Amino acid sequence: MSADHIRRHTYADPESLARALAERVEATLREGVSARGQAVLAVSGGSTPVRFFEELSHRALDWARVTVTLVDERWVDEASERSNARLVKRHLLKGPAAAATFVPLYTGAETPEAGCAEARRRIAALPRPFDVVVLGMGEDGHTASFFPGGDRLAEALDPDNPALVVPMRAQGAGEPRITLTLPLLLDTRLLVLHIEGETKRAVLEAALAEPDPSRRPVSAVLQQPRTPVEIYWAP
Ligand SMILES: O=C(O)[C@H](O)[C@@H](O)[C@H](O)[C@H](O)COP(=O)(O)O
């Protein structure tokens, strides 16, 4: 991995970060729409992306040509506070961005194992490479649903796995999940890792220094040679 493969963007506070990231993502989606007539944005759930979603939602883009999907999902109904689809609908798919097409990963099947084939069909139908992937990171070093100790972590990180989508169960995950695979997430024109706070910065530095992804799976994103990683951070 060369040093210019990791690009750091540091901001004074989460609000400035959200504005800068929304601007970058807006510009990249606009380029995608004008070059190819459509664009795909894959986003994370959790709490960190809310400000960024709010900022992006009112940007004047041709949203009808944008597809929004998730990098991972907790296997819960949209009525649950834990649902990433619910988060995206509440904070991103409103105002001008309400015109975007949303492709959820949750299918209503009883388990992610049972719903995986359908989720895979949905994702396989999207144009690739994606235009933008925005990842988050947990304090345990997980990203997407690549959790330490995850039952299918090796499958999800395998650069040659054509599966696109895999179920994931892990102690730290809360509920069963489903996740896009690492090779799919790397197949994007812009790959962002959005993290906030000193604790996560320390985890990031440790992950940058450690090639083995089993301890902090985000290492697999940071240490791959294929796609530059744009790290957006604020305290
Ligand atoms: O569904 C999810 O939980 C995510 O997509 C996950 O990978 C997230 O990005 C991190 O857990 C960070 O979450 P926070 O922003 O809540 O710290």
CA–centroid distance, 177 to ligand 1, in Å, is 12
pLDDT for 85 equals 98
Tell me the angle at which helices 50-57 and 84-91 cross, rounded to the nearest 10 degrees.
40
Per-residue pLDDT band for 118 (boundaries 50, 70, 90) equals: very high
Residue 144 structure tokens:
């997407």
Q: For residue 2, how far is its CA from the centre of ligand 1 (angstroms)?
A: 27
Distance from the alpha carbon of residue 83 to the mean position of ligand 1, in angstroms: 11
Give pLDDT tens digits for 208-224. Answer: 999 899 999 999 999 99
Question: 141-185 pLDDT, tens per residue?
Answer: 999 999 999 999 999 999 999 999 999 999 999 999 999 999 999
CA distance 137 to 69: 18
Q: What is the ipTM of this complex?
A: 0.95
Measured from the CA of 195, which atom of ligand 1 is nearest? 15
* pLDDT tens by residue, 87-110: 999 999 999 999 999 999 999 999
What is the pLDDT, as a whole number, of residue 176? Answer: 98
Ligand 1 pocket check: which of 17, 143, 153 to mutate, most ligand atoms within 8 Å of Cβ?
Answer: 143
Which is the closest atom of ligand 1 to the Cα of 46?
A: 16
Q: Which residues on neighbouring strands pair with residue 209, listed in sequence order?
A: none
- Whether 136 lines ligand 1, by a CB cut-off of 6 Å, is yes
Ligand 1 proximity of 45 Cβ (cutoff 6 Å): yes
> Are residues 165 and 179 in contact, defined by beta-carbon separation less than 8 angstroms?
yes
Checking if the pLDDT of 4 tops 90, the result is: no
Domain boundaries, the chain: 3-234
Pick the CATH number of 3-234 from 3.90.120.10, 3.40.50.1360, 3.30.450.20, 3.10.105.10: 3.40.50.1360
Q: Is the peptide bond before 129 cis (omega within 30 degrees of 0)?
A: yes
Q: Is the pLDDT of residue 1 over 60?
A: no
Instruction: Give the closest residue (by CA) to ligand 1 atom 7.
Output: 144
Place of tokens 């169960």: 169
pTM confidence score: 0.98
Residue 10 pLDDT grade (very low, low, confident, very high; cuts 50, 70, 90): very high
Question: Encoding tokens for residue 48?
Answer: 């960190």
Give yes or no for residue 14 CB within 6 A of ligand 1: no
Tokens encoding 176 = 């069963």
